[in-house]
């Protein structure tokens, strides 16, 4: 965080008790995450920072405010070590309204979805937005955008030349989401970015699911510092033993904590000191129902982790992993005054939140609702794609009648996609989706006005019986993704998103069943978390009517363009073999009608 020389001098004076504290927290028990102990200590705060811990009598003046924490425990504010805030569909302001009451005061994010839709100017606007919020943003510059291989279409591409500039921004704390495939293939642009980072003494944040053995060693040799993608606890243990800081992810769609925490509870409790938490992708519904990082602390404790260890995993461990422990992660002089008052460590109910020296939330409620800034043209307006017709969502082949064997993207979970071959009827030159065989059509439409691309493919495993659903919130490129068994409904859904400037929608038999507008860049909303939750619930009811029994079909569908998830994906370029990293034809063979 930037400070002036005058501010620094004032903080030093305040530390010397030559300037009275603005606020003291008294009579509480400090959870010292640095020394792993509990003891009575008072906290003195001047402006945004802690200036004294322990006996603070010398720091109290006539205007000093007091908070009595008798019978309570004092912990640092919580840190989400890896999150795509935009995937929550909440703007940064709305997101802060949601998570701060649960004790989250810092997030590490690449704002990569913002880069995809609004470029670096959009990122700068988010930096300005965060200045007025009780939430710290530690930004890692995405190693490149888009992440898709082959490269799909987005609003702005980050490459090594761009990295050379943005790594020098004061807001930049590292390189974000460096995927293993880029190291394995020795992608020259990525390697140049890593050289820039190492020369700038910036940590490199990784993404390496299922990396073990030689593949892990190859990855670590590039200088990667940490990783947030371990599918099993053995994988996490191997990464930790090989010097990685590792994050346990518990998102709205991938629930890895129960498995990964076994590294601590069953293998070696000492591993916990290099393990922290992240949520990666979360929904408003989940946050309001379960909490945020505080929920992960509770889950870890329930799994058998000592409370103080779980608190360390949500605070200092993450701060040290990302090299931001000089600013956050502990209740210590010189750090930002991000402080929680909780009932007790074992139950970890957050009762009061202090952010940058101000009381901002109490009893899970934000004290003063945060108001989003007026959005610039970068973040508003219609999506840039021509309106569609039903004809655009028909997979046409040269044969007028017969059968087509197609490879479908078979969903076996949000991050498990396998190939499943299915025979479909060709009628009047169109390969027909089949609700009976659980096969739907899927399409991705480029929406930044660059080339007008549209791809078509097939999916299975969704259980769709009728209608269509569409989303313009779809990492990694945030083009329009639409899926359905009715070409007409797919067109209606797509056109609604284009004209509304983005959103998520369910259409059945020509009727809009549910629609959540996402007018901020086509991926986010400034609505309150409660209103976004209501929209998510309505969308889930709509996908229920379509016939899907998946936990969150809309969220699952939004991940289909991610080419880092094996085995298949679809972008505006077409269907992607995520292992071979190339575009493939969904049609395997055509069998003409015999006669």
Task: Output b/e per residue, 300-323; b: 16+ Cβ within 10 A.
Answer: bbebebbbbbbbbbbbbbbbbbbe
pLDDT of 238 reads 98
Task: Please calculate the CA angle 193-196-199 and round it to the nearest 5 degrees.
Answer: 150
Question: Residues 253-278: pLDDT tens digits?
Answer: 889 999 999 999 999 999 999 999 99
Cα–Cα nearest to 551, from 413, 439, 424: 413
Task: Please state which architecture CATH assigns to domain 5-72.
Answer: Roll (2.30)
Per the listing, tokens 């840190």 go with: 79
pLDDT of 532 reads 98
Tell me how far apart the alpha carbons of residues 513 and 339 are, in angstroms, rounded to a whole number.
44
Is pLDDT at 363 greater than 70 in this prediction? yes
Question: Residues 18-33: pLDDT tens digits?
Answer: 999 999 999 999 999 9
Cα–Cα nearest to 173, from 109, 259, 92: 109
Domain 74-351: give its CATH superfamily: Metal-dependent hydrolases (3.20.20.140)
Q: Compute the average pLDDT of residues 116-136.
A: 97
> Residue 541 — very low, low, confident or very high, per pLDDT cuts 50/70/90?
very high
Q: Compute the average pLDDT of residues 447-456.
A: 98
The rounded percent of the chain whose pLDDT value lies above 70 is 99
| Contact assessment for residue 298 and residue 277, using Cβ atoms and an 8 Å cutoff | no
Q: Which residue has the higher pLDDT, 474 or 2?
A: 474
DSSP reduced 3-state for 276? strand
DSSP 174-204: EEEEEEHHHHHTT-HHHHHHHHHHHHTT--E
Question: Residues 197-252: pLDDT tens digits?
Answer: 999 999 999 999 999 999 999 999 999 999 999 999 999 999 999 999 999 999 99
| Contact assessment for residue 58 and residue 393, using Cβ atoms and an 8 Å cutoff | no
Contacts of residue 435, defined as CB under 8 A and 6 or more positions apart, other chains included, come to 464, 465, 466, 485, 547
pLDDT of 566 reads 83
Q: Cis bond leading into 401, ω under 30°?
A: no
Neighbours of 18 (CB within 10 A): 11
Domain segments of the chain as ranges: 5-72, 74-351, 390-592
Q: Compute the average pLDDT of residues 542-548.
A: 97
Tell me how far apart the alpha carbons of residues 377 and 400 are, in angstroms, rounded to a whole number.
47
Is pLDDT at 132 greater than 70 in this prediction? yes
Strand partners, 76: 339
pLDDT of 286 reads 97
- The alpha carbon of residue 236 and the mean position of all alpha carbons in its chain are separated, in whole angstroms, by 20
Tell me how far apart the alpha carbons of residues 99 and 171 are, in angstroms, rounded to a whole number.
22
Q: Compute the average pLDDT of residues 557-566.
A: 91
- The alpha carbon of residue 550 and the mean position of all alpha carbons in its chain are separated, in whole angstroms, by 21
pLDDT of 231 reads 93
| Contact assessment for residue 78 and residue 106, using Cβ atoms and an 8 Å cutoff | yes
Tell me which DSSP letter residue 471 carries.
Answer: E
Is pLDDT at 414 greater than 80 in this prediction? no
Q: Is 576 exposed, middle or buried (0-12, 13-18, 19+ CB in 10 A)?
A: buried
Tell me which DSSP letter residue 120 carries.
Answer: H
> Residue 2 — very low, low, confident or very high, per pLDDT cuts 50/70/90?
confident
What does the radius of gyration of the chain's CA atoms come to, in whole angstroms?
Answer: 25
Question: Residues 378-392: pLDDT tens digits?
Answer: 999 999 999 999 999
The rounded percent of the chain whose pLDDT value lies above 90 is 95
Q: Is 369 exposed, middle or buried (0-12, 13-18, 19+ CB in 10 A)?
A: exposed
pLDDT of 3 reads 87
pLDDT of 595 reads 62
Q: Compute the average pLDDT of residues 448-467.
A: 98
Mean residue pLDDT of the chain comes to 97
Q: Compute the average pLDDT of residues 324-352.
A: 98
H/E segment holding residue 246: strand 245-249
pLDDT of 416 reads 84
Per the listing, tokens 């920072």 go with: 49
Q: Compute the average pLDDT of residues 85-109.
A: 98
Cα–Cα nearest to 557, from 481, 494, 489: 481
Q: Compute the average pLDDT of residues 454-481.
A: 97
Is pLDDT at 159 greater than 80 in this prediction? yes
Structure tokens at 153: 């279409």
pLDDT of 92 reads 98
Question: Residues 514-537: pLDDT tens digits?
Answer: 999 999 999 999 999 999 999 999
| Contact assessment for residue 73 and residue 38, using Cβ atoms and an 8 Å cutoff | yes
């Amino acid at each position: 965080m930037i400070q002036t020389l005058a501010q620094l001098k004032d903080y030093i004076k305040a530390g010397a008790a030559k300037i009275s504290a603005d606020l003291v927290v008294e009579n509480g028990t400090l959870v010292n995450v640095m020394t792993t102990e509990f003891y009575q200590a008072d906290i003195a705060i001047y402006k945004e920072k802690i200036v004294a811990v322990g006996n603070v009598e010398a720091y109290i003046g006539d205007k000093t405010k007091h908070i009595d924490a008798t019978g309570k425990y004092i912990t640092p504010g919580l840190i989400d070590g890896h999150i795509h805030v935009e995937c929550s569909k909440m703007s940064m302001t709305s997101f802060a309204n949601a998570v701060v009451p649960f004790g989250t005061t810092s997030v590490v994010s690449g704002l990569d979805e913002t880069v995809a839709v609004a470029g670096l100017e959009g990122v700068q606007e988010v930096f300005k937005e965060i200045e007025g919020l009780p939430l710290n943003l530690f930004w890692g510059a995405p190693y490149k955008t888009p992440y898709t291989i082959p490269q799909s279409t987005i609003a702005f591409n980050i490459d090594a030349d761009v990295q050379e500039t943005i790594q020098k921004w004061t807001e930049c704390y590292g390189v974000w989401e460096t995927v293993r495939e880029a190291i394995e293939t020795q992608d020259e642009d990525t390697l140049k970015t890593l050289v820039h980072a190492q020369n700038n003494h910036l940590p490199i944040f990784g993404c390496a699911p299922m990396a073990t053995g030689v593949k892990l060693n190859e990855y670590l040799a590039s200088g990667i510092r940490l990783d947030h993608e371990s599918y099993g606890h053995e994988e996490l243990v191997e990464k930790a033993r090989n010097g990685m800081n590792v994050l346990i992810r518990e998102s709205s769609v991938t629930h890895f904590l129960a498995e990964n925490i076994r590294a601590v509870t069953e293998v070696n409790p000492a591993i916990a000191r290099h393990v922290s938490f992240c949520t990666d992708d979360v929904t408003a519904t989940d946050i309001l129902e379960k909490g945020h990082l505080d929920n992960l602390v509770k889950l870890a404790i329930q799994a058998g982790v000592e409370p103080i260890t779980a608190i360390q995993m949500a605070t200092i461990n993450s701060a040290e992993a990302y090299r931001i422990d000089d600013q956050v992660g502990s209740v210590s002089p010189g750090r930002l005054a991000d402080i929680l008052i909780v009932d007790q460590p074992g139950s970890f109910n957050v009762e009061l939140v202090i952010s940058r020296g101000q009381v901002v939330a109490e009893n899970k409620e934000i004290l003063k609702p945060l108001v989003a800034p007026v959005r610039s043209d970068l973040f508003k307006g219609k999506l840039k794609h021509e309106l569609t017709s039903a004809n655009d969502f028909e997979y046409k082949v040269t044969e007028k009648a017969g059968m087509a064997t197609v490879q479908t993207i078979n969903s076996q979970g949000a991050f498990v996609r396998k190939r499943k071959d299915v025979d479909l009827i060709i009628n009047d030159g169109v390969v027909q989706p089949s609700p009976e065989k659980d096969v739907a059509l899927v399409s991705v439409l480029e929406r930044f006005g660059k080339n007008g691309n549209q791809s078509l493919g097939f999916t299975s495993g969704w259980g769709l019986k009728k209608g269509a659903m569409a989303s313009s919130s779809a990492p990694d490129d945030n083009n329009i993704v639409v899926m359905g068994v009715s070409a007409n409904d797919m067109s209606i859904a797509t056109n609604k998103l284009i004209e509304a400037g983005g959103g998520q929608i369910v259409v059945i038999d020509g009727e809009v069943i549910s629609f959540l507008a996402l007018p901020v860049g086509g991926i986010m909303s400034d609505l309150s978390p409660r209103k976004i939750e209501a929209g998510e619930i309505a969308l889930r009811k709509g996908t229920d009517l379509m016939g899907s029994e998946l936990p969150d079909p809309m969220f699952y569908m939004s991940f289909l363009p991610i080419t880092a998830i094996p085995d298949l994906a679809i972008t505006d370029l077409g269907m992607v073999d995520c292992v071979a990293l190339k575009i493939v034809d969904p049609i395997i063979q055509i069998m003409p009608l015999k006669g």
